[in-house]
Structure 1
Amino acid sequence: MKKDLKVRLGQVGDYEIRLLKVFEAVVESGGFSAAEGELNIGRSTISTHIANLEDRLNLKLCFRGRSGFSLTEEGAEVYELMKTLLSALEGFRSGVNALHVSLTGELRIIASDTICMDAQAGLPEAIARFSQAAPDVNVLLDVKSLSDIERMVLNDEADIGLIPQHRQLSGLDYRPLYVDDCHLYCSRTHPLYNAKSSSQLLDQVLSSKVVHAGIHTSPEVGAQLADMNKAAISYFYEARLAMILSGAYIGFMPNTYVQRYVDEGDLRALMPETKHYSLEICTITRTYGRSKRARELFLELWATV
């Protein structure tokens, strides 16, 4: 029977959808006569449509006659399947129509420290392209801590998060952007600024007071800090840089963020061959929930920067 059904039904096209809608009206009206006003066609035409549907499905869908209208067991199942099909078609139609409507609303982007102005990220260029493509969408951009960014994206309080990839959380999708190389720096006023490379330099570095973020970002970072004199905590790079420039502390910083201070002689990298690590910067978005056109458009445009 299944083979015969496949031959009779073929592909579901406009004609089959029209027959199914007639069947829907008959079932929900409670019979052929009651469906005449709903469909604005005569009872004989309705009967012909139902007969054609039964023929195409190779199933008897309903009983009709003096005893009244009732569905067969197969007819009841077809009715439930039909509702799923018509609902999906309506959802498809609504979705396609929405694609022709101008994007509005808000796009909420939350970034971790330094990423907004890192040339490797290309965020200003991405915002410029997005603003041209979707001028009616308000872009909200802010800076938060790693844990806040993850929480906000998971709770749908932010659409896109920008963070160093330090762990994998269920419910988040991660897309790599670029890699930040970080070295250990001291300022020109620190005792190690003019130190020569020697066997004693490592001991001097390990005994110097180091300022760090105070959170576990990766095993590589943890290994670099393991034997060091962790004397101060400063989460944001801007504040950490101020502490390093004070001359009282040394600390790891992204090379691109401090390059101008190095060029001007205000900072020096200590033991660059060994005291360094890399952080992969990525975007995070919610795994679950409805797809957001503004978010996907922004990510698509950003990938071409």
Structure 2
Amino acid sequence: MSLGQVGDFEIRLLKVFEAVVESGGFSAAESELSIGRSTISTHIANLEDRLDLKLCRRGRGGFSLTEEGVEVYELMKELFAALDGFRSGVNALHVRLTGNLRVIASDAICMDPQARLPEAIAEFTAAAPEVNVLLDVKALNDIERMVLNDEADIGLIPFHRQLSGLNYAPLYADQFHLYCSRAHPLYDSPNSDALLEQVLAAKVVHAGIHTSPEVGSQLADMNKAAISYFYEARLAMILSGAYIGFMPDAFVQQQVASGELRALVPETKHYALEIVAITRAHGKANRARALFLESLTGMTEVDRV
């Protein structure tokens, strides 16, 4: 016979069994359980019937467990430990959120209007006012390492690869075009096949890391002459007039509106880069992290709809 559902009745019988084993016998368990020996004996008999196993021996030789009784006792301890863990976990859900939440963003994501990070921080701090949000900016590879090593709770990065130790939540996509400044010789050139040839020969400043196959494809036939990872520094290189380079449209919209920058061959030279929130795939639950991620994805989800 196999054991069916384990309910409250079986749990009560197992508690009696636990007291008997840890007291060393039926008589010794009477004061522990505040019930008589005959009632204890009935409970143990009911448990043995439920399990279809002989759990203990009692008689002139004293109290002892059978081999099956020893095994059931060990399994029972695992069951009670799991129940205690469940109870503690549920109780923890009612505890106020405190401490620090460490958020690390790549480059200009913090102030990208599509990220809506200020709004997400405002919503989070209203829901968890006792949690301090620590926000910093790092290079992409550093952010991945910090999240994997539990040095940061959430990382905001351009998606470029899938690491087994991380979870990825899509936020939005940045659109990139190839820009030159008013000081560059190509600024006044009309878009044409001839301009494309000149673009391919012009010096390009780029991030210097592999971000996606699409980005690699766009740069493959170009004159990669300088490296500048951070957008602000790359923009300064482009504004010098010595280089052209890909920039996210949202980041340079002010310079485009003022005429300081123009997009070169926009139908040909462009790509999209998905921005994601990364978190550790393993480790204990983090309610503050989950709440902030919910705020962040909720903000960007509204924009995507």
TM-score of the two chains, using structure 1 as the length reference: 0.94
Question: How far does the alpha carbon of each residue in 1:133-155 deviate from its partner, in whole angstroms, 9 at most, with x for none?
Answer: 11111111111111100000111
2:104 matched to 1:110?
Answer: yes
Question: How far does the alpha carbon of each residue in 1:88-113 deviate from its partner, in whole angstroms, 9 at most, with x for none?
Answer: 11011101111111111111111111
2:178 matched to 1:184?
Answer: yes
**Letter matched to residue 196 of structure 2:** L
- The match for 1:267 among 261, 272, 279 is 261
Distance 2:40 2:284 in 1: 39
Distance 1:212 1:38 in 2: 75
Question: How far does the alpha carbon of each residue in 1:233-290 deviate from its partner, in whole angstroms, 9 at most, with x for none?
Answer: 1110011011111111110000011111101111000000001111011111111111
Question: How far does the alpha carbon of each residue in 1:159-209 deviate from its partner, in whole angstroms, 9 at most, with x for none?
Answer: 111111101111111111111110000011111111112332122111211
Distance 1:161 1:231 in 2: 30
SS in 1 for 2:42: helix
Residue in 2 aligned with 1:94?
88
Distance 1:199 1:233 in 2: 27
**Letter matched to residue 88 of structure 2:** S
Q: Is the 8 A contact 2:191 2:264 kept in 1?
A: no
Residue in 1 aligned with 2:302?
none
Residue in 1 aligned with 2:303?
none
**Letter matched to residue 115 of structure 2:** A
Distance 1:236 1:154 in 2: 22
SS in 1 for 2:247: strand
2:13 matched to 1:19?
Answer: yes
Gap regions ≥5 residues in structure 2: 300-305
- The match for 1:134 among 125, 128, 134 is 128
Distance 2:34 2:134 in 1: 52
Residue in 1 aligned with 2:285?
291
Residue in 2 aligned with 1:242?
236
Q: Is the 8 A contact 2:154 2:277 kept in 1?
A: yes
1:181-220 equivalence runs, <5 A = 181-220=175-214
Residue in 1 aligned with 2:58?
64
TM-score of the two chains, using structure 2 as the length reference: 0.94
Query: How many residue pairs get matched?
Result: 299
SS in 2 for 1:231: strand
Residue in 2 aligned with 1:46?
40
Distance 1:93 1:198 in 2: 69
**Letter matched to residue 119 of structure 1:** P
Distance 1:302 1:196 in 2: 41
Residue in 1 aligned with 2:276?
282
Gap regions ≥5 residues in structure 1: none
1:157-176 equivalence runs, <5 A = 157-176=151-170
- The match for 1:145 among 139, 150, 156 is 139
Distance 1:298 1:34 in 2: 53
**Letter matched to residue 50 of structure 1:** I
C-alpha root-mean-square deviation of aligned residues, in Å? 1.4
Residue in 2 aligned with 1:85?
79
**Letter matched to residue 232 of structure 1:** A
Distance 1:251 1:30 in 2: 80
